[in-house]
Amino acid sequence: MVVLGIETTCDETAAAVVERPAQGRGRILSNIVLSQIDEHAAFGGVVPEIAARAHVEALDLIIAKAMAEAGRSFAHLDGVAAAAGPGLIGGVIVGLTTAKAIALVSEKPLVAVNHLEAHALTARLTDATPFPYCLFLASGGHTQIVAVLGVGDYERLGTTVDDAIGEAFDKIAKLLGLAYPGGPQVEREALAGDGARFALPRPMLGRQHADFSLSGLKTALRLEAEKIAPLSEGDVRDLCASFQQSVVEVVADRLRAGLKMFRERYGKPNALVAAGGVAANQAIRKVLHQVAFETGTVLVVPPATLCTDNGAMIAWAGAERLALGLTDTLDAAAHARWSLHDVTGLAPSRNAEAPETNAGSVTESRMADD
Ligand code: KG4
Ligand code: ZN
């Protein structure tokens, strides 16, 4: 089964062609990602309107490139998939409408994919990880611990009640005068800093549930920075190291809580899977290894290019759904918000009746003035 996948929910314009065999991992025939970072950098964050326009300008070419690299024409496809949300609505509409047009003219089925579901299923593309497994998704827009039970069958075990982890990295980078996106900069500064110099809080540490909270940590860091301003280069390094140290300890603790909830509900997970740009952070990776080792869980961390936003994950999720006959009609809607709870599979989702708490529901759109 060969599927074209289109991703335009945030600041990456991406398209890919992926083949899903009847069994085992997938084969990526092409995977083209155009980052808009340069267009947003001056604003210190993603500006939705600029993102949507940039998607319009670039998407046709990116799709043509993905098809050419895969050596396929639309006629060779079994389906066309696009991320239909959650995300910045202008961009989502661009990608979904383009997919509809391709599906219509080439008479192929359309699959409207939930972006979070695509992150959740990436471990099956790369490692053929069997269900059920535990997903740690940490990016600029999302921080969730999810029980991945089947295609269209997810239970969110934990989420952030305020900022996403990547968002917190980006915000403290901005505060300390570092460039956007802040995660890699903060990590670089932290390498040479003293993580014990500032006594920052560890929000949610020791709680039974698996939720996160980052905004208090961010505020505590700002207060420390204001106390010692003007900041020397050494101060910035120590602040970054102290912040990262706190995040790492919180992630370890929240994952232990999430894995415990998973085991109580579904038994031992087949793997702990990481996804999202934050998984590129070496200190976070180290702690993922540590928690997996401690709990006797297999750790799956897809390569960084497949942890961050990309078209291959959308194509793969599309192929997984298509294989089950789960296709969408040409009036499928674009969603700014779309919780994993509301994604459906073959059987009525076990989460269908669960109340939507909205606490950090799915995506915090990162605005320049945020
Ligand atoms: O998954 P992603 O590429 O895009 C979405 O947010 O959907 O994640 C980007 C986020 C940004 O907030 C960025 O600062 C963060 O991931 N990030 C990192 C690192 N690399 C990227 N955070 C901490 N350490 C890193 N090395
Ligand atoms: Zn994402």
Mean pLDDT over 341-368 rounds to: 50
Percentage of the chain exceeding pLDDT 90 = 86
Using CA atoms, how far residue 66 sits from 18, 28, 34, 114, 362, in Å, is 10, 10, 11, 21, 29
Residue of 53, 3, 50, 57 whose CA lies nearest to 26: 3
User: Regarding predicted confidence, which is higher, 45 or 6?
Assistant: 6
Q: Residue 246: its pLDDT value, please?
A: 98
Per-residue confidence band for 363, with pLDDT thresholds at 50, 70 and 90: very low
List the domain boundaries for the chain: 2-130+307-340, 133-300
108 CA from centroid of ligand 1 (Å) = 34
How does pLDDT run across 61-96, given as a tens digit for each residue?
Answer: 999 999 999 999 999 999 999 999 999 999 999 999
293 CA from centroid of ligand 1 (Å) = 24
Percentage of the chain exceeding pLDDT 70 = 94
Q: Is 177 exposed, middle or buried (0-12, 13-18, 19+ CB in 10 A)?
A: exposed
Instruction: Give nearest CA residue, ligand 1 atom 22.
Output: 183
SS (H, E, C) 340-352: HHHCCCCCCCCCC
**Ligand with an atom nearest the CA of residue 280:** 1
Q: Residue 350: its pLDDT value, please?
A: 53
CATH number of the structural domain 2-130+307-340: 3.30.420.40
CATH topology of domain 133-300: Nucleotidyltransferase; domain 5 (3.30.420)
Q: Residue 368: its pLDDT value, please?
A: 30
Q: Residue 369: its pLDDT value, please?
A: 28
359, pLDDT greater than 80: no
Window from 155-164, 214-223, 260-269, 341-350 with minimum mean pLDDT:
341-350
Q: Which of 11, 308, 363 to mutate to test the pocket of ligand 1 (most atoms within 8 A of CB)?
A: 308
Mean pLDDT over 260-285 rounds to: 96
**Ligand with an atom nearest the CA of residue 140:** 1
Task: With residue 312 as reference, give the H or E element that holds it.
Answer: helix 311-323
Residue pair 80/328 in contact by the 8 Å Cβ criterion: no
Mean pLDDT, the chain, whole residue set: 92
Q: Which of 12, 35, 139 to mutate to test the pocket of ligand 1 (most atoms within 8 A of CB)?
A: 139
Window from 9-13, 190-194, 296-300, 330-334 with minimum mean pLDDT:
9-13
Domain 133-300 in the same topology as domain 2-130+307-340: yes
318 CA from centroid of ligand 1 (Å) = 24
Q: Residue 239: its pLDDT value, please?
A: 98
Q: Residue 180: its pLDDT value, please?
A: 84
Sheet holding 143-150, edge to edge: 153-159, 143-150, 133-138, 272-275, 299-300
Per-residue confidence band for 133, with pLDDT thresholds at 50, 70 and 90: very high
Per-residue confidence band for 348, with pLDDT thresholds at 50, 70 and 90: low
Instruction: Give nearest CA residue, ligand 1 atom 14.
Output: 183
Which ranges in 204-301 belong to alpha helices (H)? 215-228, 233-266, 282-295
Closest approach atom of ligand 1 to CA 119: 1
Report the DSSP beta bridge partners of residue 136: 145, 274
Q: Residue 358: its pLDDT value, please?
A: 36
pTM: 0.91
Q: Which of 46, 175, 278 to mutate to test the pocket of ligand 1 (most atoms within 8 A of CB)?
A: 278
Which amino acids bring their CB within 6 angstroms of ligand 1?
A: 10, 139-141, 166-167, 169-170, 181-184, 187, 276-278, 280-281, 308-309
How does pLDDT run across 19-53, given as a tens digit for each residue?
Answer: 999 999 999 999 999 988 888 887 877 889 888 99
How does pLDDT run across 314-342, given as a tens digit for each residue?
Answer: 999 999 999 999 999 999 999 999 999 89
